[in-house]
Amino acid sequence: MAGCLDGKVLIVTGAGRGIGREMALLGAREGAKVVVNDLGATVDGEGAATQQPAEEVVELIRKAGGKAVANFESVAEPKSAENIVKAAIDNFGRVDAVINNAGILRDRIFHRMSFQDFDQVIKVHLYGAFLVSRAAANYFKEQESGSFVHFTSTSGLVGNFGQANYAAAKLGIVGLSKSIALDMARFNVRSNCVSPFAWSRMIGTIPTDTPEQKARVAKIQKMTPDKIAPLAIFLASDLAKDVTGQILASRMHEIFLFNQNRPIRSVHSGDGWTPQKIAEIALPAMKSHFTPNERSADVFSWDPT
């Protein structure tokens, strides 16, 4: 039986471990030739890099009869991002899908977050998604086909403690994806976002100091990375030829479609507004429609199924 990525060339960034690893392996099983990109850095991006994770994934793909090459470039610099796409062209002659998955975490409560904490997370997640996508965009344009799959998070879509840098990057990726979807639709190029719920090295930084935290982590640990891969590979493939500009999430065996920002209430004043008039008229009319100041765990409060 033919795979949904037969004859395609797939780039997966951050593919040495966790969700990225499972997407690279599934992509290969579905027939893709895979560029397994991974810098091999620690979760916070500060530790010494190792080529071993990417090489191990490539070896697994080759042992199973697939084709793959390892790439160890950073997504966060223009030239190295270009080299990631060049690896696909040089080894396989084309590129058909890019999954922007690479990331780091530097969680800090906001009043303790340094510029470096903010800057580095933005660079890897948001700049990384832009740079790798931009490097692939002209190839997609010329062949009039291609798919981008970008990883967002409920940290940005909903909210979370201690993740202003990560949330800003991940919500920025949503805007980036929508702009790509609009700009490149004429070339039959698609762009979508996936928000994953899965246990990984990055999620492994969640504190477990209290019984409540331990119970939360125990639930998350049931959501293994392999549960995310099918949705991302679907979006990378021609099975999703009519899907673009969307935000989807995968949580165990659940798939969610997220809404996107639209006006939900309006108030009109024929002679204009003053601050006092807004407080007297507009605020009471709108307040019941305010979005609660919640975290991801408050919104997704039921056990994964």
- Residue 284 counted as domain residue: no
pLDDT at residue 303 in the model? 85
- Selecting among 130, 139, 166, 197, the annotated active-site residue is 166
For 20, 237, 248, 263, 298, the CA distances from 99, given in Å and listed in that order, are 9, 11, 14, 31, 29
- Residue 242 counted as domain residue: yes
Range of the domain at 241: 9-260
- Residue 66 counted as domain residue: yes
As a whole number of angstroms, the distance between CA 86 and CA 29 comes to 23
- Residue 305 counted as domain residue: no
Exposed, middle or buried, 151 (CB in 10 Å: 0-12/13-18/19+)?
A: buried
Number of domains present in the structure of the chain: 1
Task: Return left, alpha or beta for 31; rule: phi > 0 is left, psi -120 to 50 is alpha, else beta.
Answer: left
Q: Are 297 and 216 in contact (CB under 8 A)?
A: yes
- Residue 290 counted as domain residue: no
- Residue 51 counted as domain residue: yes
- Residue 276 counted as domain residue: no
Query: What tens-digit pLDDT sequence spans the chain (305 residues)?
Result: 789 999 999 999 999 999 999 999 999 999 999 999 999 887 877 766 789 999 999 999 999 999 999 999 999 999 999 999 999 999 999 999 999 999 999 999 999 999 999 999 999 999 999 999 999 999 999 999 999 999 999 999 999 999 999 999 999 999 999 999 999 999 999 999 999 998 655 555 566 678 776 776 777 777 899 999 999 999 999 999 999 999 999 999 999 999 999 999 999 999 999 999 999 999 999 999 999 999 998 999 888 88
189, β-bridge pairs: 146
- Residue 28 counted as domain residue: yes
pLDDT at residue 171 in the model? 98
* CATH at residue 16: 3.40.50.720
Does the annotation mark 139 as catalytic? Answer: no
pLDDT at residue 17 in the model? 95
